[in-house]
Structures are given as C-alpha cells and as structure tokens.
Amino acid sequence: MANATKNIILIAGDDDYAAEELAKAAIARHVPEECRASAVETISGEAGNAEAQLASIRSCLDSLRTPPFLDPVKLTWWKGVNFLPGGGRGGKISGNVNDALEHFAAVLTETPLPENQLLVITATKLNGKSIFAKSMATIAEMHECFVPERSNMRAAAALARLPALAKAENLTFEPGADRAFIAKTGPDTRNIVSELAKMRTYLGEDVHTVTPQDISEITSPGGDDIELWFLTDAFATRNPAKILEALKSFQGDSGWPIMVARSIEKWFRNLIFAKAGGSTGKPFTDRKNAAAARSFTLMELRLARYRMLALQERLVTSQPTTEYVEMELLRTVTRQAR
C-alpha cells in the first residue's frame, strides 16, 4: 500500500480473478468477519449504455453517503466497472458519463471519506492519462491486474503465478509438469485456480506433487469445462442452494441456458451409462460418475434427462425467463414423493 491511510482502493485490469482477489483481501483486511454480510455493500459497475452508467455512478455515491448503521465500518465495492475512461466500446464513453466520473473523483477529493468508510473499485480498463485516473491516483491506492497482450507473455506470466496459486492448494509440480499444466489450461488465472482445485480433489489429501500423467488424466484443455465440473458437482448433491450458486458463473453469458441444458442433459446421460456399469476409460471420471449416479434412481435419471431435452426444445422455440430455466433445472434433482 502506497499510503496506509488511504481508504480508497482502485483495481484496474482484465484479469478479473486477480482483481477480485485483491478486493476480497481488502475486505478481509478492513472489515471484521462477523459483520461482513451487513457492512459490505456491492454496487454493480456493469452497464451497457449511458443511462445505466450514470445510474451506477449515482448508486455508488449514494452508498458512500450512507454511513455505517450498526457496524463499526462500511465498505462499498463498486464491482466490475466497465465504463471508466479507456474502458468503453472503442475506448470511449459519452461526454455526460465522463463528466459524471470526473465529478465523482472531485467529490472524493474535496470531501474525503470518514475513517470508518472504505471504497473499493474494480474496473476492466482504465486510461491512466485521463483526468479521472489522475485525480483518483492522488487519493487512492492504485493496482493493475492486466493480462499481457502477446500470447507468449501471457503464458510466461501464468507460469510465474503458478507456484503461489498451487501452494494455496498444497500442490507442487514435477519438473516440466508446470509448463504442461499451463499449456493445457491456458493463461487465465480463474481457469488455473479452478483446475488446481480440481487437481486437489483428484489427487486426494495425501498426494501433493502433480505429474504429467495427472495433467493428462484430469486437466481440461483451455479450462473450457471447469465451471461445468463445479456445476455437475452441485447437481450431484441435489442441493438447490448449491445449484443456484453454481449457476451464477454462467448467467452473465449470452446463451447460457441452452449451453447449461445441453451439458446437464449429457451429464445425466453419462450417469445412466455409469449406473449400467459402463466405463469411459478414465478411472477418475468413472468414479465421480458412479458416485453421482448413486444419488439417483435409474427412473430419476431418465426423467431428469427427459426434462433437459424438453428444456432444450423450449429454449429453441421460445425465450423462457431465467426463473423458468432455473426451476426446470431444479426439478431434475427434486426427490419424488414415495
């Protein structure tokens, strides 16, 4: 921290995982655990047009103007702001939005936050030469979490981060296995962390060294299946709350309902196959499928797969609401009355 007294933290960069980890570290550092649920207010910074962007700025200011109520501290997290100078489409934002951002920075400069209030801003991009950035640099702790543009530089940066990320899962790599791991997962930090968590589960608690054979067995190319792996694990628990939490990873993406419906239909199909004693040829996958299949009767698996096929047809022919999609997904794990 450049100045330990600064209670504004601005984190800019397209490595969203690293940015969120810095924000969470700030929360852990400044907000007592017992009051984080009420003392942290999150304001969405994702806005697609000038009207929504101005509304987001107002919401953040309103939060800053509202002092803590019963908690000793309040932290406002303006999360994922995608319209700071240099961050809009083509790097430009409207004049009204730019003026509002400069006014926002001026207000914070002229009227510093009380000692028991903090502001954390995470943004996808920021032009460091803008008036807004220069103003914020005088009052805020500034961080950058940008992914290098060139692919070889991205791989090198990911390889440099890997030991610390692996240590969090109590893992190390055999010589050369670290490069093989990054070559397969790609350089995205979130993918790497998720694949390390998957590797931890695969190896069990007594094994701590990752080998090239382990990577070949369990690591997903490009991290494409990482979130789906966590989603199917949630379905295996038949716990609606866990399923809804896992679905949040997809709901910002266009076309997520059809992708999830197809993936879950395939998963139920694989469980039917596993229940019949079928094998994929991958021992770890077979063990996970067999364990998940034991949570369902064969009739439940067949009915669940039918529901997913019906949902896919509905998604192709109409535009059901998110609530409808969620309900159909949850129906696949609802236990039938005996």
Query: Which pLDDT band, with edges at 50, 70 and 90, does 4 fall under?
Result: very low
Reported as a single tens digit per residue, the pLDDT across 104-122 is 999 999 999 999 999 999 9
Residue 142 sits at φ, ψ, to 5 deg, of: -105, 135
Cβ neighbours of residue 64 closer than 8 Å, sequence gap 6 or more: 76, 108, 113, 117, 119
Reported as a single tens digit per residue, the pLDDT across 38-68 is 999 999 998 889 999 999 999 999 999 999 9
Strands (E), the chain: 8-12, 40-44, 74-81, 117-123, 141-144, 172-173, 209-210
**Closest by CA position to 202, among listed 295, 268, 265, 286:** 286
Over range 217-222, report the average pLDDT: 81
Residue 282 vs residue 203, higher pLDDT = 203
Please report the domains of the chain, with CATH numbers, ordered by start residue. 8-144 (3.40.50.300), 151-223 (1.10.8.60), 226-331 (1.20.272.10)
Beta carbons of 311 and 261 less than 8 angstroms apart? yes
The whole-number pLDDT of residue 2 equals 37
Report if pTM > 0.85.
no
Indicate the range of 72-86, 155-169, 273-287 predicted with least confidence: 273-287
**Closest by CA position to 54, among listed 87, 118, 98:** 98
Side-chain half-sphere exposure of 21, counting CA atoms within 13 A: 13
Is the pLDDT reported for residue 88 higher than 70?
Answer: no
Beta carbons of 113 and 63 less than 8 angstroms apart? no
Residue 198 sits at φ, ψ, to 5 deg, of: -65, -40
Query: Which pLDDT band, with edges at 50, 70 and 90, does 149 fall under?
Result: low
Q: Which residues of 247-262 are buried (b: 16+ CB within 10 A; e: fewer)?
A: bebbeeeeeebeebbe
Reported as a single tens digit per residue, the pLDDT across 187-197 is 888 889 889 99
Cβ neighbours of residue 243 closer than 8 Å, sequence gap 6 or more: 231, 234, 235, 237, 329, 330, 333
